[in-house]
Structure 1
Amino acid sequence: MAPEGRRAPLRSPRADGLTVVLAIVLAAAGLLPGASGRRSLVSAAGGGCDLFRGQWVADESYPLYDASACPFVPDVFDCRRNGRPDDAYLKFRWSPAGCQLPRFDGADFLRRWRGKTIMFVGDSLSMNQWVSLACMLHAAAPAPARVTYAAGEPVSSVHFEDHNLLVVLYHTTFLVDVVQEDIGRVLKLDSMRNASAWLGAHLLVFNTWHWWTYRGASQVWDFVQDGNSTYRDMDRLTAFSKGLSTWARWVDANIDTSHTKVFFQGISPSHYMSKQQDKEVPAQGGSCLKQTQPLQDATDSPAAGGESVLPEQAVVRGVIGAMTAPVSLLDITALSQLRIDAHPSVYAGPGRDGCDCTHWCIAGLPDAWNHIMYAMLLQQG
């Protein structure tokens, strides 16, 4: 179980075909899409544009797709099917300050990434973004779409056959290893035994954070190993920094960035109530239960021009900033903090107790993450 009031990130369902999917992933090869047809962001002021500062604006043309027509959405993200009565949360578009995002063009995305492999590597927040992109592309694929879907553990994939585009999820909670040893389950901060499975992709989108914070029954390790030293526990932010630094060194040493683009999905915020001195106080905006509109008064949020940065955000920025490989930070934290309305809440499906204020409804907020990533890829060429 997750800590009281919180739900642990989901694990991918198991299915046959893991070996086949891994073989496809590892066999992928080729060059990144060329810069022909490159688009630019439209700047209202003629200056630079920070894609992560701005506001949510109502847009009746949204959502970008109908989740009920997307065959990849797991029950836990399918809020409307699970009985959520309101739909206003679907009809907001992210608008960066000072410029306009090019509208997401799924057909263009499919053309640019024809014959390529896109891989999301991380926990269930990576699953959230992976499902979102698969649905966005499925809606744009020519009908009848020839698509192969394989759900497994740790690998799930969607293959758009007409474009030979493989969109993969590799499920891992920490990026570094948890190994069963005689003393118990050991979180090894300097070990990445499975990382070879990520080689060969043309776009890698990494994520980790939430599982580093869990304690009690939700904690999936018994000891932490740092080099030759083993501990019962460690300051979680310190452990996160050490583990993420191991990932960074692996990327620097193993990823050919002339062949592969690398993104890191920033910290996805939760919206729960926390207890201090026997009183419930808002945590990152308060509980998501019965919320139907984005927050409008988060004046200290970086999305609104404030300077507040979470400690885990600072770790991510510091680690990426010290890397030699070019890694694009999908800095989604601030814009997502405003979307207290976009969680599954109590609409995470039958048999799931509690209120999920960690994950996100599909369709919904992760579509904006992918929209921004699309704009960044267009800018990079």
Structure 2
Amino acid sequence: MKYVKDHSLSFTRKLLPWTIYSILPLAIFRLYFYPLHFPSSSTDFLPLSSSTTITTTNSFSSFSPPLSPPSSSSSSSSSSPEEEIANESPPCDYTNGKWVRDKLGPIYNGTTCGTIKDGQNCISHGRPDLGYLYWRWKPNQCHLPRFEPFTFLQLVRNKHLALVGDSLARNQLESLLCMLATVSPPHLVYAQEENKFRRWSFPSHNANISLYWSPFLVKGIEKSNNGPNHNHLYLDHVDERWAKDMDQMDMIVLSIGHWFLHPAVYYEGDSVLGCHFCSGLNHTEIGFYDVLRKALKTSLRTIIERQKGKEIDVIVTTFSPSHFEGEWDKAGACPKTKPYKESEKLLEGMDEEMRRIELEEVEEAKLTGKQNLGLNLEALDVTKLSLLRPDGHPGPYMYPFPFANGVPDRVQNDCVHWCLPGPVDTWNEIFLEMMKIWEMSRRKAGQ
């Protein structure tokens, strides 16, 4: 009997470590793809079940800092999460924070995604340092969850999401598609004009995601190699290449900025308003800040006027700074391999002004459209968190293996767009949190 007991004990001792070793990888796999999220702010997502009681408020402030300081308020430390939401605690401010090391890295592999523009596929182009993949944005006063592709697809079920704007809009869209592809492959169902207009479907959720090329949002004639070296912008007319489909859109993400730096002539009504960097033309130089404001104002006003009672969510992604430290065609134009600390890089100059204009126009449009039932309008403020990521651009790796034969005298750099995977993935993490709050508000309104 003692032998049997000892033998059983010995067997148990041997079996226990192997059991732990077999369970541990499964647990790590589960936490990686479906991380546990603990409520840390009033914006944490509540389960989307028919029995859920939503206690959030109907209105909430922008996901960018308010333009005037909010009034202070206090709440009991013993309050439950539901009571804190009911007490109208402010939403998470994702704008201010820092980049912290993240051992998990991105949720998708840039070499196998299939939808990334070639110039942003830094891994396949041989970028040797991969440290830029292992950073996460940590807001100062709240928690930003990892992207949940299942949740995103659930929130766009039976809907059409359109990303409208310039190449940064495309950058954000391709990041989104790559993250969603980890659980449901997108099907390209439409492509036109050298892929400037594309649409993907997700049959699993009857959802569509589209890209509309419109670098000014308003009507424009882009410069060409065979014509004048400047653009023509008609600031009081929206670009119908995207606006004509507005009645089919349930969610719109607008993203503009960098194309306004190019030479252009501006029109308002039947008259020339002025121009930017237009030497040789008999027009008044007026810069581009007021033009950006007018273009965004026209676009948001058009959305509000054409909404006609339809439920629609609108987001304006704020200006994304570039990080050129040298000449664009020389090695080392954006050489950083780590994020800036907040104290190392201030938001100032053009970056600050472009962001300020976009935030102000969003706030003004919210006031204009406040009587429109079903309209949600917010700014996705990514300017500051993007400013702190000089390491996230393709740089010379916009082309495959640029230094395979040594350092050439001339090498083109991309210090504007973002590697995928990369910092732009964070934009979509915040986007998802905004969508969660809108869904909670709708559910409460429908109670």
Q: Which TM bucket (shorter chain)?
A: 0.7 to 0.9
Task: Give the deviation of 1:307 after TM superposition.
Answer: 12
Residue 271 (structure 1) aligned with residue 323 (structure 2):
yes
Query: Considering only aligned residues, what root-mean-square deviation do their CA atoms show, in Å?
Result: 3.2
**Aligned equivalents of 1:180 and 1:77: distance in 2?**
23
1:361 aligned to 2:401? no
How many residue pairs get aligned? The number is: 324
Superposition deviation, residue 81 in structure 1: 0.5
- Is 1:348 equivalent to 2:398 in the alignment? yes
What code does the residue aligned with 2:323 have?
H
Residue in 2 that maps onto 1:140: 183
1:178 Cα deviation (Å)?
1.5
- CA 1:113–1:224: 2 relative to 1, 3 Å: same
SS at match of 2:244: helix
List gaps (5 residues or longer) in structure 1. Answer: 1-33, 216-220, 281-286
Cα 1:149–1:345, aligned 2, differ >3 Å: closer, same or farther? farther
Rate the CA distance shift 1:252–1:160 in 2: closer, same or farther, 3 A: same
Query: Which one-letter code corresponds to 1:178 in the other structure?
Result: G
| TM-score, normalisation: structure 1 | 0.76
Q: Residue in 1 aligned with 2:297?
A: 245
Q: Is the contact between residue 61 and residue 91 of structure 1 (CA under 8 Å) also seen in structure 2? A: yes
**8 Å contact from structure 1 (residues 298, 338) kept in 2:** no
Q: Give 2:257's aligned amino acid.
A: W
Amino acid at match of 2:430: I
Out of 382, 387, 392, the position equivalent to 1:337 is 387
Aligned: 1:159 with 2:198: no
- Name the amino acid aligned to 1:240: L
- Residues 330-355 of structure 1: CA deviation (Å, up to 9, x unaligned): 00000000000000111012599411
Which deviates more from structure 2 when the two are superposed, residues 253-262 or residues 189-198? 253-262
- The change in CA–CA distance for 1:135 and 1:39 in structure 2 (over 3 A counts) is farther
Separation in 1, partners of 2:423, 2:354: 21
The equivalent residue for 1:295 is 340
Report the Cα offset of residue 197 of structure 1. Answer: 2.3
Q: Is the 8 A contact 1:199 1:255 kept in 2?
A: yes
The amino acid of 1:293's aligned partner reads K
List gaps (5 residues or longer) in structure 2. Answer: 1-47, 57-79, 275-282, 370-375, 403-409, 440-447
Tell me if 1:327 matches 2:369.
Answer: no
- The question of whether the paired residues in 1 share the 8 Å contact of 2:161 and 2:251 is answered with yes
Paired amino acid for 2:356 = A
Segment drifting more, 119-128 vs 252-261: 252-261
Larger relative contact order (CA 8 Å, sep ≥ 6) = 1
The equivalent residue for 1:173 is 215
Q: CA deviation at 1:268?
A: 0.7
- Is contact 1:224–1:234 with CA below 8 Å preserved after alignment? no
2:132 — aligned with what? 89
Deviation at 1:102, TM superposition (A): 2.8
Q: 1:129 aligns with which of 172, 176, 186?
A: 172
- Asked if 1:201 is matched to 2:249, the reply is yes
Q: Distance in 1 between matches of 2:322 and 2:300?
A: 25
Q: Does 2:357 correspond to 1:315?
A: yes
Cα distance in 1 for residues equivalent to 2:123 and 2:222: 40
Distance in 1 between the 2:338 and 2:162 partners?
Answer: 32
Identify if the C-alpha distance between structure 1 residues 345 and 146 changes in structure 2 by more than 3 Å, giving closer, same or farther: closer
Runs of 4+ residues over 6 Å off in structure 1: 37-40, 180-184, 306-309
Q: C-alpha separation between the residues in 1 aligned to 2:287 and 2:268?
A: 12
| 1:4-45, Cα deviation, whole Å (9 max, x unpaired) | xxxxxxxxxxxxxxxxxxxxxxxxxxxxxx7856799x99xx
> Could you tell me which of 428, 432, 435 is aligned with 1:370?
428
The structure number with the bigger radius of gyration is: 2
Identity across the alignment (%): 30
How far off its partner does 1:131 sit?
0.3
Q: Displacement of 1:238 after TM fit?
A: 1.6
Alignment partners' CA distance in 2, 1:58 and 1:180: 41
Paired amino acid for 1:186 = H
2:163 alignment counterpart: 120
